Chains A and B, each alone.
Chain A
Amino acid sequence: MEEPTIPEFLPGTLYMLILRTLASGPLHGYAISRRIKQSSEDALAIEEGSLYPALNRMLVKGWLTAEWGLSENNRKARFYKLTEDGRKQLERESSQFDRLVRAIQLVMRSA
């Protein structure tokens, strides 16, 4: 596997990435993984074996809702949509992540 996959790469960031990806509008599972791959310029890939369990855990938590709809090529697909709770969770996680990254950068620069 040439690309680093997310759960191993940065544990705990998978939810945040999915939430961020869905912030701009509902997407189906395949599109989520495409979007993450593209946005990271192919640096990040989500394993299918982690994507769907993660999406379902987020459904249980109430961050997402899922609805069946038609895909861009007129196929039936399941679209995931951010809820209000999900939006709040995204804010929480991304601000935490920012702090973490800044702290790591500070350490790396000072050393």
Chain B
Amino acid sequence: MNWLKELARRLAYLWRRTRFDRELDGEIEFHIQMRAEELEKAGMPRADAARQARREFGSSVRMRESTRAAWQIRFLEDLLSDLRYGIRALRRNPGFAAAAIFSLALGIGANTTIFSLTMEFLFSQPSCRNPETLRSIQIGGNSAAEVRDSRFLRDAHIFADVAGSFEEAEANWRNGEDTYRLFVMPVTDNFFDMVGVPLAFGRPIQRGERDTVVLSHHFWERRLTGDPKVLGKALLLDGRPYTVVGVLPRDHRTLIGFGYSPELYFPVLREDEPVSLVARLPEGMTRAEAFARLRVACKELNKVHPRGQNASWENGIRIAPVAGLERLDELGLGPFAAFFGMLMFVVGLVLLIACANVSSLLLARASSRRQELAIRLAIGAARGRIVRQLLAESLLLALFGTTAGLLLNVWLTGMMNRVQLPVPVPIQLQIQPDWRLLLYSACVALISALVAGVMPALKATRTGVSDTLKLQQRQAGNQRWTLRNALVIGQLAVSVVLLATGFLFVRNMTKALTMHPGFDAEHTIWAYVRLVPEKYFPEKHSGPEKAHAWIREALDQLRSLPGVESASVARAIPLNDHVSIGTDIRTDLNDRPVHADFNYNFVAPDYFKTIGIPILKGREFLPSDRSGAPEAVILNENLAWRLFGKANPIGHTIRWGGSPATVVGVAKNSRYFTLGEEDPLALYTSYLREGGSNANLHFLVRSSRPRDVVKEIVQTLGRLDASAAIEVKPMRDALGFAFLPSRIGAALLGSMGLLGLALASIGLYGVLAYAVSRRIREIGVRIALGADSRAIVGMVVRQSLSLVMIGVAIGLGIAVFATRPLAMFLVPGLSATDPVTFLGVVGVLLAVAVVATLGPAVRAVRVDPMTALRYE
């Protein structure tokens, strides 16, 4: 630790250098006077004594220097003086500095913003105490267990504690005359205590409580107008009164992560509610130990609460941390992480282009400073020292660029935090600048300073001293392979790759938007009704009769509304939700079972008519397909082909799981969960036959003017049950979720592509303009000798276009390979090496190059030859 204290003393010296020098002077003066007095005492006359003492002391200059050296941190002092010099140099050249800093700010702003986004999505920490001993656990291969299983594991005392939370729950909130559907998180009563969720104010839900609620900050702020006296107030949720006991802080992050932010937490009520389990490991328990203990406990659980036939709880045990890479791996989010990896790569390219811009600016400046540098080299400055000084300048640019980039980052991420994504669940980002961002930015600044600065600095100090001093500016003739040209080519190549990626994703989006979902989204309305479960299914095994009666009544009333052509109800609305089943299906034509992964939906009569999916063979469900009637199924074309081949499936029976079912119809293929899915299989059964205690009802209404009947639908349904939460929207608006991935991809990568293009264009323009200005004398001579100005413009343009062509060719070569891994993010029918994309990219770059060249070239020929010749 001694060296640390020593360093601290040396650093302290930096701040009091002036005082130090003054004190040293005082000390020297004292020393000399003491000596003089001594000499005087020995009998020397006063004046002589003073002179003698001063002579004895000798020159104090070297002594001062070595005394100071005792304190100095050589490297730091040099750096500081280099930086001071750099600031002076930048101030003399504000245009250059602004251009370089602007380029870097854009590059670094984009880069750090994507970094922040990636960190938030993939690596954010949930709001909890000691996340390192918190584990999410899975038993029986299922992501959820029942509340009683969670209680069993807790009472087994294998871990410090076990709690559960139901992550996809909804509740109806009755507020005055209105009922709203809320996203809620029912938790076991020990959840808050065990996880250690911090609160903004109030207290958490405590053990043994059944009717308390903790609000999220945004619910409290937006729905309750930030009422400061909210604690103790009652909320009516699903018909039960709850007391508000606490409010979460604004930056609360759930254990699920990914920005999911339910509106409130309340205690789970029923022993059979599904919950995701989370455990607090005792200090120092290893993963293997935890696993072994959980296994033993699960074997016990099999006796108390069997998992079901042929299944047991100890199979499919998973123990995952609540944050970090391991968690992503356990959740199987490889492709998700890959997308962010690609984004990081792309913004890396943007930054590279920005650095190349700065690099070429520095090169241009170095050549105008050539004489200054040559003089310094000539009078004995070490090359290394000058290179360091030039690097300090680029470090300075990088520092300013990074600062500006960070401001851009804060602004952009602030916007992302506010934006409400068009998804069916509440996603709220909480991006805050943190130490990770700072560390990352520091690295980025350092790297970009080096990338941008090293080459120009080496180049600037390489030239022979005598050549330059002779003031002999070589005229750029046909010397083609200069460093600057190489930079332009490299920059172009990188921007081709970037643009190709951006273009590809924009094409992907337009293609996805025009892709037909296979049903009629223009004339249908989706009315989502959430009934209060306790009202319609008082017991877990209550039959659906009460709910079905309500549905029948609702459908009758909807159909009788003016402007409504038909109405139906379905388990899942395509492209928003889906149930997928993988199982063996047998048919009466073939004994061998066929394994199929298909989309499963149960739908009421008139579903196909309402949503606009044609029935190709047979019929759709009828009111007679109700419980008690023989089971009927409708297949989509793909599944019919898979099961029956060319045979007509109508009237045949299939068997999957339970009793045999008769195929009554074949529906046209459509999209079920994503627009990008390929050859999806689908199987429909009748809504009126299916039991199930589902309180979430998805009504579909067909109308030629969907937007005009929305309000009446809301009123009609509301009159039937005031406690139901109702959301009605035209189908077109509800498809946002399906287009979201392609939209986000297009928005992010398209803007990166544009940013890259803008930066590359600035760079290209700068370099070409500079190159032409260096040739003004040559052009002047040519014009004086009678050259045609059009020929000269042609020559300049030809030369720069040849550069551009080389760059574009190299870039295309790279892009063909670089875009190949993107195929997994694209809609079917769009290949990663889409020719339209590449042609578009080349066209755009050529246009930019021509504009960038023409301007300076035209200016050059307009110059009066006399001025040009006198120029130097």
Contacts and interface: CB of A to CB of B under 8 A. Distances in A.
Interface stretch (A8-16, A68-76, A101-109): A68-76
Interface string B5-32: 1100110000000000001101110110
Interface residues of A, number: 21
Interface string B50-83: 0000001110001100110111000000000000
Contacts, number: 60
Interface in A50-88: 52-53, 56-57, 59-62, 68, 71, 73, 75-78, 85
Contacts of B67: 52-53, 56
B24 A52 contact: yes
Contacts of A76: 26, 30
A28 B34 CA distance: 11
Given A56-B71, A60-B10, A61-B6, A77 B63 contact: no
Given A28-B30, A77-B30, A48 B23 contact: no
B565 interface: no
B35 interface: yes
A47 B62 CA distance: 13
B5 A57 contact: no
A30 interface: yes
B659 interface: no
A78 B5 CA distance: 22
Contacts of B23: 68, 78
Contact of A48 (B6, B10, B57): B57
Contacts of A73: 37
Nearest to A78: B27
Given A52-B27, A76-B30, A57 B70 contact: yes
A26 interface: no
B472 interface: no
Contacts of A48: 31, 56-58, 63
B34 A30 contact: yes
A36 to B, nearest CB: 14
A25 interface: no
A28 B66 CA distance: 19
Contacts of B24: 52
Interface residues of B, number: 26
B394 to A, nearest CB: 32
B63 A62 contact: no
Contact of A60 (B6, B33, B57): B6
B23 to A, nearest CB: 7
Q: Which of B2, B5, B70 has the most CB of A within 10 A?
A: B70
Contact of A62 (B6, B34, B70): B6
Q: Which of B37, B56, B67, B69 has the most CB of A within 10 A?
A: B67
Given A49-B58, A60-B70, A71 B30 contact: yes
A59 B70 CA distance: 9
Q: Which of A49, A57, A61, A71 has the most CB of B within 10 A?
A: A49
B69 A60 contact: no
Contact of B5 (A56, A62, A71): A62
A52 B30 contact: no
Nearest to A77: B30
A90 to B, nearest CB: 16
B50 to A, nearest CB: 15
B70 A75 contact: no
A26 B58 CA distance: 26
B30 A75 contact: yes
Nearest to B69: A53
Nearest to B30: A77
Nearest to B26: A76
A30 B63 contact: no
Contacts of B6: 60-62
Nearest to B66: A53
Nearest to A33: B31
Contact of A75 (B5, B33, B35, B63): B33
A34 to B, nearest CB: 8
Contacts of A68: 23
A52 B10 contact: no
Contacts of B2: 62, 85
A41 to B, nearest CB: 17
Given A60-B6, A62-B6, A53 B30 contact: no
Nearest to B20: A56
A45 to B, nearest CB: 11
B9 A59 contact: yes
Given A30-B34, A59-B9, A62-B9, A49 B63 contact: yes
Nearest to A52: B67
A76 B27 CA distance: 9
A52 B57 CA distance: 12
Contacts of B33: 75
Contacts of A61: 6
B27 to A, nearest CB: 5
A60 B5 CA distance: 9
A57 B35 CA distance: 24
Contact of B70 (A29, A30, A53, A78): A53
A30 B32 CA distance: 9
A60 B66 CA distance: 13
Contacts of A57: 70
Nearest to B65: A53
A53 to B, nearest CB: 4
Given A30-B31, A62-B2, A76-B30, A53 B63 contact: yes
Interface in B582-635: none
Nearest to B68: A56
Nearest to A66: B23
Given A75-B30, A78-B26, A78-B27, A30 B9 contact: no
20 contacts: A28-B30, A29-B27, A29-B31, A30-B30, A30-B31, A30-B34, A30-B35, A48-B63, A49-B58, A49-B62, A49-B63, A52-B27, A53-B70, A56-B67, A57-B70, A60-B71, A71-B34, A75-B33, A76-B30, A78-B23
Given A53-B69, A60-B6, A62-B5, 20 more contacts: A28-B27, A30-B31, A30-B34, A48-B57, A49-B58, A49-B62, A52-B24, A52-B27, A52-B67, A53-B67, A56-B67, A56-B70, A61-B6, A62-B2, A71-B30, A71-B34, A75-B30, A75-B33, A76-B26, A78-B26
**Closest A-B pairs by Cβ, 3 of them:** A56-B70, A53-B66, A57-B70
